[in-house]
Chains A and B, each alone.
Chain A
């Protein structure tokens, strides 16, 4: 493989890893946020739920920030097209993420308006969880693009059946992350409710998976030809089945790991069907934004590859270390 293609492919993989890391890690705190009303009844229980994600969510969100920056650095055209094209949708995601970021802290200290801040936390978690999948569904199934690589559709272009199906799938995967994480980290009434929720979410995930599968048959049947899709899909389904099995025997760490693996498998499907596209164009495939026509120059890709190859393993190492420090059940009391 020539150097440039190697670099471009490497960066496709790295971005995939960053997005998968984001989905798994921020997935559990987003999912926790979206499920808060079902998990906690009073302030003590809410505090328990908040405490279980409080030390982590900052670091988790950095996966998104870094993913965005890496997309900017490696494939500036894709970054420019998607973020300007989906302007309003991303603004709503940003408003939501702003509120979500501050709401735990605000809830804790601003006792008079706890209702407002926990609502902000719930909506702020729910909206991005849904919209990320919708955005991803759009770039996978294709959006109208001009020769200048600019998006030519409008806000409603984004709300087509296929992207909506992927939005639901993303949301349900995030809910699975949340519910398995909370079952693992809590005890008492909160854990009991999480256990009851798990069965429902597990079924919703299956339904969303089936829906996305049908949508794929209808809208992009060609993607089902690749054997890698079926391998990834097997991983997703096996992990999904094991997730329930571990949950029923009380092995919540393993159950959470299986939920994460199943999410990673979904990203695997996206990666193998989408490669080498970054943003598919509807109609004329020549207009698609790919890793070949959207990337930065060789120098940038090379220097950044070194930074990523040295930096990311270190990040993963100390992140794992800090998670280990905070292992075990969260404390109930203040």
Chain B
């Protein structure tokens, strides 16, 4: 097999599996921060009980995030050495900044959060919860900067066959950084808050820990409602930004084969690349033009505008983009329903709603994975958009069999970790809040 393809699959496996955990972290640390704030203000033990329970879950999730994150950190060197040589100036910098400015903060204070409640003052403990939340956020920010630079590179010049930094600020705040950061953070808050709302729903259904679950439900559901509704706006601006900065990616998302004035928004279809045709398509006329340019007759570039060897694949980006949006719409619906239920006070008792929340727990993960697939596959054949091709980025000295070997090993290890992770998570959940905590 081809070493480029193998390395791509390996990166997809490593990044995809890793990305189960950070979004949960983003959401859960936010809920913990809210709970710790309430505890500090009100002095009611119940907030502390819930928070300590969530911190235990966070500890487990964080460990898996670290274990899988190390692999990614080194994978640029192991599998993408040509890429590393080419972009080290710019891509390495945000990774290093992430470590120094964010990941240290998150990891060191998580240790304090996990084991230090009785060893520091209450105010300082609250501050630690804030730093873990903030560290996670900042960590995500630097990682998104690095990835956004691959999508919309800026602030660099090509010198001696390498990308050299010319303007740090322009590279950091490249055209897609801020929009993609907000989009990813909201996705994290949706993922984490829905997970915890589902958890609360499970206890409520089983009539366990009812007082605790009501509080957890109220906080998590509120965060979910705001995030899911905000994500609708953020998703829209993210799409507009893609259409304007990476038009061939948007053309692939929408399977827009030819440039059109008054382009339709494709709702459903089966795009077949070899025939340049979309079967069974259902679309809304002129809506794509309207959404991107606020003008129903605006011209939208189709795939025909781009050289055949510079066009992204269509099927996978189309599929993932549409599934992500469908899920986003579902979350907005669930948020609207949830808001009504919360106001009416039925969110804690309506069986169907509680079941729906539990069933929805895995859905944000699907949306996250599809979102990344759309973003990354939609950027192909480039690894750095219009600067460096993926095929020219791979390590030259690593033989295919070694990548195949490591790919098989990672797949097996990750499957094992996932099974054990779920098993332990269920165990912690079944035991419930209030159980004795480990350590110090």
| A residues in contact (CB < 8 Å) with B | 47, 51, 54-56, 58-59, 61-62, 64-66, 68-77, 79-85, 87-88, 90-91, 94-95, 97-99, 101-102, 104-106, 108-110, 148-152, 296-297, 299-300, 303-304, 307-308, 311-312, 315, 318-319, 322, 325-326, 330-331, 334
Q: Is A300 a contact partner of B165 (Cβ separation < 8 A)?
A: yes
**B89 proximity list for chain A (CB < 8 A):** 73, 76, 296-297, 299-300
**A149 proximity list for chain B (CB < 8 A):** 85
| Chain A facing B: main interface SS | helix
| Chain B facing A: main interface SS | helix
Pick the contact of B119 from A99, A101, A299, A326 — CB < 8 Å?
A: A326
Once bound together, how far apart are the Cα atoms of A325 and B115, in whole Å? 10
Q: Is A62 a contact partner of B71 (Cβ separation < 8 A)?
A: no
- B 358-396 contacts with A by CB, 8 A: 395-396
Once bound together, how far apart are the Cα atoms of A71 and B77, in whole Å? 10
Q: Is A70 a contact partner of B99 (Cβ separation < 8 A)?
A: yes
Once bound together, how far apart are the Cα atoms of A221 and B87, in whole Å? 37
Once bound together, how far apart are the Cα atoms of A325 and B420, in whole Å? 32
Q: Is B116 a contact partner of A83 (Cβ separation < 8 A)?
A: no
Q: Is A84 a contact partner of B81 (Cβ separation < 8 A)?
A: yes
**A110 proximity list for chain B (CB < 8 A):** 420, 423-424, 427
**A64 proximity list for chain B (CB < 8 A):** 70
User: 9 more A-B contacts (CB under 8 A) besides A72-B95, A325-B116?
Assistant: A47-B438, A58-B107, A61-B107, A62-B99, A84-B78, A148-B396, A296-B89, A307-B97, A315-B105
Whose C-beta in chain A lies nearest to the C-beta of B420?
Answer: A106
Q: Is A69 a contact partner of B164 (Cβ separation < 8 A)?
A: no
Q: Mark B257-282, 1 if CB is under 8 A from A, else 0.
A: 00000000000000000000000000
Q: Is A151 a contact partner of B96 (Cβ separation < 8 A)?
A: no
Q: How large is the interface on B (under 10, 10 to 19, 20 to 34, 35 or more residues)?
A: 35 or more
Q: Does B402 contact A (CB under 8 A)?
A: yes
Q: Does B68 contact A (CB under 8 A)?
A: yes
| B residues in contact (CB < 8 Å) with A | 59-60, 62-64, 66-71, 73-74, 76-79, 81-82, 84-85, 87-93, 95-101, 103-105, 107-112, 114-116, 119-120, 159, 164-168, 395-398, 402, 405-406, 409, 413, 417, 420, 423-424, 427-428, 436, 438-440
Q: Is B84 a contact partner of A76 (Cβ separation < 8 A)?
A: yes
* B71 → chain A closest CB, angstroms: 5
Interface pairs A-B: 3 shortest CB-CB: A76-B88, A83-B77, A66-B99
Pick the contact of A91 from B396, B409, B440 — CB < 8 Å?
A: B409
Q: Is B73 a contact partner of A80 (Cβ separation < 8 A)?
A: no
> Known contacts A76-B85, A98-B413: does B440 contact A331 (CB below 8 Å)?
yes
**B110 proximity list for chain A (CB < 8 A):** 58
Q: Is A150 a contact partner of B119 (Cβ separation < 8 A)?
A: no
Q: Which of B84, B90, B109, B110 has the most CB of A within 10 A?
A: B84
Once bound together, how far apart are the Cα atoms of A308 and B84, in whole Å? 21
Q: Is A84 a contact partner of B397 (Cβ separation < 8 A)?
A: yes
Q: Is B78 a contact partner of A91 (Cβ separation < 8 A)?
A: yes
- 23 examples of A-B residue contacts, CB within 8 angstroms: A54-B439, A55-B114, A56-B111, A62-B104, A65-B70, A66-B99, A66-B100, A70-B100, A72-B96, A75-B88, A79-B88, A80-B88, A84-B81, A98-B413, A102-B63, A109-B424, A110-B420, A150-B81, A296-B164, A307-B97, A308-B96, A318-B105, A331-B439
Pick the contact of A68 from B74, B108, B424, B428 — CB < 8 Å?
A: B74
